[in-house]
Amino acid sequence: MVIAEVDASAQKVNALAAQSQACLHNFLHVRRQTLALVAPLSPEDMVVQSMPDASPTKWHLAHTSWFFEAFILKPFKADFCWFNTAYNHLFNSYYESVGPRHARPYRGMLTRPSLEEVKQYRTYIDDAVQTLVRTVQCETQLQQIMALMTLGIHHEMQHQELISTDILHLLWHNPLRPTIYPCNSSSTQTTSNLTPLRMIDFDGGIVSVGQNLNADNFSYDCEGPAHNTLLQPYRLSNRLITNEEWLAFIADGGYSNSLLWLSDGWATVQKHQWQAPLYWLEHDGAWQQYGLDGLQPLLNSAPVCHVSYYEADAFARWAGKRLPLEHEWEVAAQRQAIEGNFLEDNAFRPQPSDSKVMTQLFGNVWQWTQSPFSPYPGFNAQAGALGEYNGKFMNNQYVLRGGSCVTPKQQLRTSYRNFFYPHHRWQFSGLRLAEYQ
């Protein structure tokens, strides 16, 4: 009996050690992935801020390090010494309960610390996290640290995506239209080769959605609790809406027909004089699209991207359809593997689909839904400062699903809820259509 108990205890210790090593491996992998992503950028690229909603790359590099420092190293490492106490002010994003912070619209003014100092900061944090995980003795503490590390890893993957979208928006304002990453697209043809658009039936009924927080499968607090909801029988389009279909919307006066638009959307179109998706340019009657791989001819069969909720909703009305509810999308995605065009594929722009079944649920572009970002029944934000991560943003924003071509694949789940304001379109956002049966 005693021997059995000793064996069970040893197995538990060994399992925990294996888990901690796997967590460290993932931590270092994601941290290196961030540095590889920014390697083609110049120091000048990394300091400039193109708008208040975006942040400089250098700030992203520092903030993701501060996250591990503030929420893991400071609470759990007794002898921890801050790399620079001023960084707690400079690189806190929106955690009011942590303390005052540098105003977001002025992050581009932070020419100091230098990029080299920020890289030293990252190395300092990487070393300190590894030391902590390898030396902590308390089993409960180690489990708490690993849970926070997993959150920090997913947080950094979110910022890898933000680095991509923010640097694209910045370089869009450069008349040189520079190329950051070489084109690795699966297709460069501009001619139409579309999979026919058709609507696929779903039964609806009482369905289970969302995900409970647990140690085995990471999710953000806003993805739960898992619960039942009622869906009416519905249909979803078998693929995403393409550039060619958006060109038809433009040609039919989509941006000038007020009857297609929500009131706030129409006001936004008029204010900003939108006539096409962001990053589109028309030259001598031909459309081009700027991306991280430079200015390229518009690929007609690729999914349209960089459209706002207002534009997606107007297109759906023009097509005689609507945008999906987020749980209509989730139920469809539960039947699919998480496959698609992600950050790791290095294409850096949406790619066409040649499938004739339900496809493109993951990757390529985030898909707008008509669902507001609001709490699920029984939702409770995490205790403490990390409760500010999602819960306080549950107003005036809409849910997007599925990830994009600059989303790390590891970040995605069928329950993952992204959210943005309806006028935002610098993200890789597009749409698929829905209707009731």
What is the pLDDT averaged over residues 168-178?
Answer: 97
Residue 188, pLDDT above cutoff 60:
no
What is the pLDDT averaged over residues 287-307?
Answer: 96
What is the pLDDT averaged over residues 190-203?
Answer: 81
Residue 290's SS3 state is strand
Q: What is the pLDDT of residues 381-395, one digit of tens each?
A: 888 889 889 989 999
- Pick from 417, 15, 9: nearest CA to 215: 15
pLDDT given at position 142: 94
pLDDT given at position 184: 66
Q: What is the pLDDT of residues 197-225, one digit of tens each?
A: 999 999 999 999 999 988 678 999 999 99
Class of domain 199-436: alpha beta
pLDDT given at position 342: 96
Spell out a b/e string for 1-11, using b for 16 or more CB atoms within 10 Å of the CB, else e: eeeeeeeeeee
pLDDT given at position 217: 87
Average pLDDT score, the chain = 93
pLDDT given at position 27: 98
pLDDT given at position 213: 83
CA distance 364 to 353: 10
Residue 245, pLDDT above cutoff 90:
yes
**Distances from the Cα of 29 to the Cα of 35, 75, 126, 154, 347, angstroms:** 10, 24, 11, 12, 20
What is the pLDDT averaged over residues 329-345?
Answer: 95
Q: Do the domains 199-436 and 2-172 match in fold?
A: no
CA distance 398 to 401: 10
Class of domain 2-172: mainly alpha
Domain coordinates of the chain in residue numbers? 2-172, 199-436
What is the pLDDT averaged over residues 35-63?
Answer: 97
What is the pLDDT averaged over residues 258-281?
Answer: 98
% pLDDT > 90, the chain: 85
What angle do helix axes 57-68 and 115-135 make, rounded to 10 degrees?
A: 20
Longest Cα pair distance anywhere in the chain, in angstroms? 84
Residue 355, pLDDT above cutoff 80:
no
Q: What is the pLDDT of residues 68-118, one digit of tens each?
A: 999 999 999 988 999 999 999 999 999 999 999 999 999 999 999 999 999
Residue 193, pLDDT above cutoff 90:
no
What is the pLDDT averaged over residues 10-17?
Answer: 73
Contact 274, 246 (CB under 8 A): no
What is the pLDDT averaged over residues 249-253?
Answer: 98
CA distance 54 to 170: 9
What is the pLDDT averaged over residues 351-357?
Answer: 76
pTM of the model: 0.94
